[in-house]
Amino acid sequence: MGSKYTKRYSEEYKRDAIELVRSSGRTVTEVARELGISSESLRGWVKKARPAQDAGSGPAGQSPADRDEELKRLRKLTAEQAKTIEILKKATAFFVKESDR
């Protein structure tokens, strides 16, 4: 059973506090102190909100289609860079042979 001194915070207040932690770059303790709430309460809210954030979307709120597109783009870039590296290796070998003459 809760204490008669336990404060109740609205869901909107909790969401705002969680967003402040995520966007400010400050620690949970610093934000809690600024808001005048328990750092353990805020830490619990942040932890509880994390699984809900991870469930439907990926990093930075990306949809699965966005992630697939990003993965496709990065694979293409990786392949291009691998080709460039191979060409540079061959060029290096060619110029080393030329300088030995």
pLDDT, one tens digit per residue, over 28-55 is 999 999 999 999 999 999 999 887 655 5
Measured CA angle at 58 (ends 39, 80), to 5 deg = 130
- pLDDT tens per residue, range 88-99: 999 998 888 766
Name the pTM for this structure.
0.47
Distance CA 74, CA 97 (A): 35
CB 69 within 8 A of CB 63: no
Distance CA 20, CA 84 (A): 43
CB 28 within 8 A of CB 44: no
pLDDT band for 58, please (50, 70, 90 cuts). low
Residues 6+ apart with CB under 8 A from 29: 39
- pLDDT tens per residue, range 66-94: 888 899 999 999 999 999 999 999 999 88
